[in-house]
Structures are given as C-alpha cells and as structure tokens.
Amino acid sequence: MQNEKIFSDHSISNHHHLALLIAAPLSGETAMHNDVADIYNALSLRGLSPEKILLLEGSLHRGLLLAFLHEVRKEIVSWDSGEVFFYYGGDGNYIIDASEARAGMLLQAGTSNHAEDYVFWDEIFSTLDLPAKINLIVLPDC
C-alpha cells in the first residue's frame, strides 16, 4: 500500500491537481473530521501543496456546497489536463420514485426532508462540469 498513488504517475509539480475534501458530520460525530485530517496529511506527504487541498467541513447545507463547487469550477475551467480528487465523508441519501433512483449526500439530518438537507451526485457532477481532459477521482465515504 505504501507505493499506491491517489493521483496518476504524472509529476504533481508538472500537472494540474486539486483535492476536494468535504466532511458533513452530524452533531457529535468526530470520525469524519479525523478522516479528512488523515487524507489531508497523506496528500501533503505525497507532495500536494496546501493551496491545492480545499476543505469544506462542518454544518453544511445545499447552497454552501454548491457555491463551493462553483468556485472550484472557476479554478479548473482553464486547465488543459489534470486530476481532481473528490472525497466526501458523511451520510448518504437516496430517493426512489416511479421514474428514477437518485443517490446523494445527506448534509443535515432531521425529521423532515428539506431540499437544503441534501445534494444529489448528478448535481455535483453537473456543477463541477469538468473539462474532458480532467480526470475525476471520487471517494465517497457514506
């Protein structure tokens, strides 16, 4: 496991790389914070500079997460190639109705099902709207 790489064999210094670490712990949970800290340290040890590791952690809601992803999109839109590592630590959510099933992130747990409490994966990917030559590596931990 020591020689495995999250990113490809391209040199990190000569290739566009960005890591997005998102944790949405529910009240009182600490494991997700610890996971993000461990991943941050591992990426740093592999040579990814701190400004290329973007963190979003805490009490999240739909608008905040989508705004974060819009800002990420601005960062990578001009890349001709590269890799984005996307880690999510939190609870999952899915909705099944007669026409489709959609999986996503549950950002807030409650007794009601408010739209601000979750974001679906297809919305995340469409918001990022990565250029064709950008590889996306997704690690959902939910």
Q: How far apart are CA 74 and CA 77, in angstroms?
A: 6
Q: How far apart are CA 67 and CA 44, in angstroms?
A: 25
- Residue 63's SS3 state is helix
pLDDT in tens, 81-104: 999 999 999 888 777 776 777 888
pLDDT band at residue 8, thresholds of 50, 70 and 90?
low
Quote the DSSP letter at residue 95: E
- pLDDT of 2: 47
- Residue 17's SS3 state is strand
pTM score: 0.84
